[in-house]
Amino acid sequence: MRFKLILAFVDDDKTDALLDAARSAGATGATIINNARGEGLKKTRGIFGLEITSQRDVLLFLVEEHRSRHILETIAEIGEFDDSPGTGIAFQLDVEDALGVKHQIKTLSDHLQDEL
């Protein structure tokens, strides 16, 4: 079985909605890294010229490759990544090998056979 790693960098107030959406799209779980800091094309300045940074969460989803594109598109839609600049980004990477997912492979295989 082949996997993809989806990484999403999002405003922390959207984390729960994206986790729910990813699960409904086929993700079986996620790892969340809190309190990340991001920077776009231009630094945002506020009062007295101080730099404004918002808290970001990094969401990591190890997903079966046949479901990955649908999950990625669902995350982007719910997060409004293409509609509102600065709300977040998501991308996927190929995973060469994964350990510790043996317990999920049987369940994923059964679900995929039903879908295909």
What is 32-78 written as a DSSP string?
EEEEEE---SS--B-GGG-B---EEEEEEEEEEHHHHHHHHHHHHHH
As for how many domains the chain has, the answer is 1
Q: Look up the CATH number of the domain holding residue 37.
A: 3.30.70.120
Indicate whether 49 pLDDT > 60.
no
- pLDDT of 55-114, one tens digit each? 789 999 999 898 999 999 999 999 999 888 778 899 999 999 888 877 777 676 666 666
C-alpha–C-alpha distance, residues 99 and 39, integer Å = 33
Domain hosting 34: range is 3-115
pTM of this prediction? 0.79
